[in-house]
Amino acid sequence: MDDRQSKIVEGAGLEDSRINQEFKDWLLKWMGPVLIVITVVALGYVAKIRWDQHKVSVLDAAFADLDAARDSGSPEGLLSVAQQHDDVAAVRDLATLAAADIRLASFRSGVRPGAQQDEKNNFKDEDLIDDEARNEQLDRASALYQEVLDRTKDDPAAAGRTMAAYAGLVSVKIGERDWDAAADLLNEQIQLANKRQMPGFAQVAKDRLAHFDALKNLPPLFPAERIAVSRLPESANAPLTVDPAALPKHDEPGTPV
């Protein structure tokens, strides 16, 4: 009985020793490649985290530049941001749209882009622009709106920017008094908005289309009729003077008492 137990114990020890040796051999054979794979995976994970952080920082910087350019009110500054951040589609398009909006506002107001009012809410004479310059601003706005529309029309992810481009182009055509072109654009916008499942934008376009008849009956606005250039001459602000000799005397017939 003791011999059998001794053989079992000795056999178990030999088996354990063989397993340990095989494990050691396996480790010697595969530990290097396994460590390499683990290291590569870890480095890839770290690289991904850093790349994601880099993309977030780039996006934050792009939108910060966009906000600063908007505050400046300069279309050239906005277009510079659009070019600088061409790889960030949203910033590029939003900057271009903002520049177009400034050009359109200049056409409507009759003052150059970025002009500031003084403490009396007046503009300087050099800030006022004539009809030719106004039409130039309108043409530039049209080109910028069209640029965004061409770039985003087939991209469902950019549908909001597409709608903004349509709205701007419609305003341009209304400024040109080209009602047929404006109506065609609105119908295109309605069709695309329905396709993109954006009922709010479709309804806004329908409302604009419904008010066309009223708009057509309004006369076009000319610079002299705009707030920006409708300042009274300096002589109008002078105090009123009256010659006492020209006043009627109280004893004259018809003089009110």
Question: Over the stretch 75-95, which tens digit does the pLDDT of each residue have?
Answer: 999 999 889 988 888 899 999
Domain boundaries, the chain: 7-72, 74-112+125-218
Q: What one-character DSSP code corresponds to residue 238? A: S
The predicted pLDDT at position 14 comes to: 56
Region 212-235: mean pLDDT is 58
Predicted pLDDT at 116? 80
- DSSP for 114-163, please give it: T----TTS---GGGB--HHHHHHHHHHHHHHHHHHHHHHTT-GGGHHHHH
First to last CA, the chain: 151
Q: Inform me whether the pLDDT recorded for 46 exceeds 90.
A: no
Q: How far is CA 96 from the centre of its chain?
A: 7
Pick the CATH number of 74-112+125-218 from 1.10.10, 1.10.20, 1.10.3470, 1.25.40: 1.25.40
Report the distance separating Cα 2 and Cα 232, nearest Å.
126
Which amino acid belongs to residue 188? Answer: E
What are the tens digits of pLDDT across the range 237-250?
444 444 455 444 54
Find the mean pLDDT for residues 170-183. Answer: 94
